[in-house]
Amino acid sequence: MFHTSFIELSESAVKNNVQFIKNLLGKDVTFSAVVKGNAYGHGIENYCPLAHKHGVRHYSVFSADEALRVHQSLSDKTHTLLIMGYIENEELTWAIENSVHFYVFELDRLEATIQIAKKLQLKANIHIELETGMNRTGFDLKLLDDLLKLVNENLDCLSVEGICTHMAGAEDIINHDRVTSQFESFKVAQKTIQNLNWMKPNYHVASSAATIRYPEMQMDLTRIGILQYGFFPTQETLVHYLAKSDLNTNTLQRLITWKTRVMDIKTVKAGEYVGYGTSYFTNKLTRIAMIPVGYSFGYSRSLSNMGKVLIKGKRLNVIGNINMSMMAVDITNIEGIEKGEEVVLIGRQEENEISVSSFSDFSQLINYELLTRLPQDIPRIITQ
Ligand SMILES: *Cc1c(COP(=O)(O)O)cnc(C)c1O
């Protein structure tokens, strides 16, 4: 009630995917579940407790607001939480008091951390991010000696929990030279730090793609996002995985099913346009079903005249332009559809399935973007 569509999340798929990821990882490698972007659209408050129930104890987010939501969604506080991106200096007090780990990648944050941790008389759990060639965030390696000196002088209030970097596109073979040279630079820095002997951080560089393509990059911890939701980063990564593991099927399972219902049905005579503009013209008597989902719900406007939905187990065409809050589906060839009939936008119905990836192939959005566009206020329901 009081919503036009809803999203089901499959608990058995979560369990399956967590096991899948554990099987990919070396014995002592920690799995950090990346739940930024509202857990890739699945809903932080819905996904994290499920992941927790199936054994996940390490979570990574982009920013402090997401960290707060993860923290509040997990009641027993046995988890480690890592902020990989944005945290304001004013939020550092909260992070330090709650033992939340966070990246430092520039001096201002490091100095503010030292100052605040000293005042609180607590240790801040920091991960030092190094710039190895992605050219995003991270300390320049030329500054490493000075940086380590500053850290060493402040070990009363700093605990160096991690040394990390991020690979600039391990999902495409075209980036092979770039990411392997990043890894080489990272290992040089690792040697320097290991020789110091005064800290034992976790070294981490890999996301889903690097974890699969370059197992040596798993190091102490991997930050895995997209795989846990049942998707490979790219088709290429899937092919690589299947070839390497001598398998011919992908055993990851999609968590999400997105459903709505028919709101109205009408018959349009031949020779009429449907909806706004002139993009769809009926060349025969056409029955249409209106569906209460449009681009304001994350159903991309680029799926106008392209999208497919399932009704009564049949794949049916979206016709005309996607509106802000509705769209039309051609049901001419299906008998017996009535107002209130279930419509599947993503997921399975009887024998047919609409996967996020097939959907995104023709809308030219990658899985990541399509998932994270699903609005937070569509209710999420946990199913078996
Ligand atoms: C998003 C992100 C990841 C996870 O990437 P996936 O491809 O979804 O596994 C890992 N590390 C960082 C720094 C990220 O921002």
**170 Cα–ligand 1 center, Å:** 11
- Atom number of ligand 1 nearest to Cα 209: 7
Does ligand 1 lie within 6 Å of residue 337's CB atom?
no
Strand 101-104 and strand 342-349: the pairing is unpaired
What's the CATH fold of domain 256-383?
A: Lyase, Ornithine Decarboxylase; Chain A, domain 1 (2.40.37)
Tokens of 341: 């009939």
Q: Is 162 in the pocket of ligand 1 (CB under 6 A)?
A: no
d(CA 12, CA 133): 39
Measure 267 CA to ligand 1 centroid, in angstroms.
Answer: 47
Instruction: Establish whether residue 34 lines the binding site of ligand 1, counting it when its CB lies within 6 angstroms of any ligand atom.
Output: yes
Name beta bridge partners: 311: 314, 343
Ligand 1 geometric centre to CA of 224 (Å): 6
CA of 54 to the centre of ligand 1 (A): 21
**Cα(311) to centroid of ligand 1, in Å?**
35
DSSP three-state, residue 344: strand
The preferred substitution site among 207, 211, 224 for testing ligand 1, maximizing ligand atoms within 8 Å of CB, is 207
Any atom of ligand 1 within 6 Å of the Cβ of 166? yes
pLDDT (tens place) for every residue of the chain, 384 residues total: 689 999 999 999 999 999 999 999 999 999 999 999 999 999 999 999 999 999 999 999 999 999 999 999 999 889 999 999 999 999 999 999 999 999 999 999 999 999 999 999 999 999 999 999 999 999 999 999 999 999 999 999 999 999 999 999 998 899 999 999 999 999 999 999 999 988 899 999 999 999 999 999 999 999 999 999 999 998 889 999 999 988 888 899 999 999 999 999 999 999 999 999 999 999 999 999 999 999 999 998 989 999 999 999 999 999 999 999 999 999 999 999 999 999 999 999 999 999 887 776 666 667 888 899 999 999 999 999
Q: How many CA atoms lie within 13 A of 4 on its CB side?
A: 19
Rounded to the nearest angstrom, the distance between the alpha carbon of 77 and the centre of ligand 1 is: 23
The upper half-sphere exposure of residue 342, i.e. CA atoms within 13 Å in the direction of its Cβ, equals: 14
pLDDT in tens, 199-219: 899 999 999 999 999 999 999
Contact 267, 310 (CB under 8 A): no
Cα 163 to Cα 189: distance, rounded to the nearest angstrom: 9
The CB of 61 under 6 Å from ligand 1? The reply is no
Domain ranges for the chain, please list them. Answer: 11-245, 256-383
How do residues 161-185 score in pLDDT, each as one tens digit? 999 999 999 988 999 999 999 999 9
Q: What does pTM read for this prediction?
A: 0.95
**At 109, phi and psi to the nearest 5?**
-65, -40
Q: How far is the CA of 260 from the centre of ligand 1 (A)?
A: 31
Question: Is the CB of 84 inside a 6 Å radius of any atom of ligand 1?
Answer: yes
CATH architecture of 11-245: Alpha-Beta Barrel (3.20)
Q: Which of 17, 31, 34 for a ligand 1 pocket mutation test, highest count of atoms within 8 Å of Cβ? A: 34
Both tokens assigned to 224: 């895995």
Q: Say yes or no: CB of residue 233 within 6 Å of ligand 1.
A: yes
- Distance, CA 179 to ligand 1 centroid (Å)? 15
CB atoms within 10 A of CB 201: 19
Measured from the CA of 226, which atom of ligand 1 is nearest? 8
Q: Which long-range contacts (CB under 8 A, 24 or more apart) does 282-285 make?
A: 284/332, 285/332
Q: How far apart are CA 256 and CA 340, in angstroms?
A: 21
Three-state secondary-structure class, residue 256: strand
| Alpha-helical segments (H) within 228-345 | 235-244
